[in-house]
Structure 1
Amino acid sequence: MTFNHIDFYDIPHVSSALETKTNSRINNCSSSVSKFILLGFSCTRDIQILLISIFSGTYISTLIGNLCIICAVRCDLRLQTPMYILLANFSFLEMCYINATVPNILANLFSEKKTISFSGCFLQFYFFFSMGTTETFFLSVMAFDRYLAICRPLHYATIMTVQRCFRMGACCWVCGFLCFLLPVYLISQLPFCCHNTIDHFLCDPGPLIKLSCSPAPTTEMICALYNSVLIFSTFLFVTSSYTLVIRAVLRVPSAEGRKKAFSTCGSHLAVVSLFYGSIMVVYVSPTAGNPAGMQKIVTLFYSVLTPLVNPLIYSLRNKEMKEVLRKLFRTVR
């Protein structure tokens, strides 16, 4: 006796039942993701205590340093010029920027659960990247300001007025917070299944897209294109401005004049190199396939270290700023 081969999945009611059961399981998983787990820094308790001390000290130092710059610009009329007004805005931005990451890192180190709500994750994602985008715009405006001051000194006062400076600063803030609405919306609409563990200390687009239970090549491509256009366009603008500045400085006959001009721009270039160098490693490298440990370390450079060193670079290399800060500290005492 012979039996014809019957495919179990060809039976209509069985196939339908299996499909319904699978879809139900996926839907249940999808609806169960109401929070994410941020692994942060997996280490021993002793190392955690050390990291808490480092991040706490960095956080307090960053807030105090940038606040001193803001107070110095507000309290002294000599510093109420476009260059220092932009610097005060930049310092305020850095204070906001570090608040988007370090408090959550510290909470993660103290907590055993290391969880963040779905909405909290995407709010952090939005504010962190919006402020990072705003920083790229401010770096571009500050480079343009230095270009005008050194390459077009006779036209500087008429072009870069205080009112125009305020308008440019406002544009940086508005455009920075509008730019990342689309990527955040696209990623938030992805279906997230049972996996909710992010091997990072913040909600980053790369790990979030990987958690989606269905491939999202279009969203991934849009985010990659978005990052590349934003980073390269502002970076090229900054480097072009400073190339023209360096060419103008080299024509200055006085060695003292060249030294002063290079000193003014050197601090800005140091910040630009640190900031753009680190974000390019994470977001512009091919497929952004860096190991999680490398991503965490590089992200620390532009999210924590840059806001810390900005006040040091700008204040310690600027004679006028140092004088005002000394006067401010004497008054406080």
Structure 2
Amino acid sequence: MVTTGENLVAQREVLHFDLASYLNEKQQLVEAALDSSLSITCPKKIYEAMRYSLLAGGKRLRPILCLTTCELMGGTNEIALPTACALEMIHTMSLIHDDLPAMDNDDYRRGKLTNHKVYGEDIAILAGDGLLAYAFEYAATQTRNVAPHNLITVLARLGRTVGAAGLVGGQVLDLESEGQDDISVDTLKFIHTHKTGALLETSVVSGAILAGASEEEVQRLSQYAQNIGLAFQIVDDILDVTSTKEELGKTSGKDLRDQKVTYPSLWGLEESKRQAQNLVIGAITELIPYGAKADPLRAIANFIVTRKN
């Protein structure tokens, strides 16, 4: 349980940090890198489909977290950018596939028609596959001035994160749980720590590993990331209930329509909000040893529970 004192510390330490400017600066860096990372070549259609979703906007939270932790550990944007782009490619793949009729069946993503609505289901599947494969190629070939062992560690972690031990496994259990009314909190946590949280955690620790962080530092940042990852999903569940399609950039109310068990359905809205806030405070507590250098991570953690989409 987080104490009142820890709560006050967590809130006070981010009051002076201009998160909007920080995110804007990093987003511009990421957008430029993503745009230059993937050109349209032959066959034209598949590259157009890949770029359509990769450059569709969004918060770019995962690559930003990678850049932020790399800087926190003494690294630079330059050494982390290829992995940051790879993380966004993998995330984009997961969104393309998640939106397919066989999965969550959504027509809109980030305020635009989903990939399969523009290019068809066959090309959308292949666009996701293309981005997934290219993510590893890009990180492996474009990373510079990083110890080989650290890069290999990051690539291996990316593979585990996106596979059956991570995102794929969480998605399978999520699909199997639709329509069931006896899903426990533990099962729901397993789904989301794998489907959503695993990639967020890898985004955080990858930047640190590239910069040569110690095992102790990686573990500390992993706990921070696990907390914000679960808080992120709880807030997603809340927003699905409370926001409009225009606010979300995608269809709202889908969890209820698809008979999915969510945190609000188990806990109610107010308790879900409280649990998310406690997770964020716990995450911020992990950052105490880093002082003001960790202000971006503190502010991002708070942003997760106050965001509107």
- Which structure has the highest helix share of the two? 1
User: Per chain length, whose mean CA-contact separation is higher, i.e. which structure has more relative contact order (CA < 8 Å, sep 6+)?
Assistant: 1
TM-score, normalisation: structure 1: 0.33
Q: Which has the larger radius of gyration?
A: 1
TM-score, normalisation: structure 2: 0.35
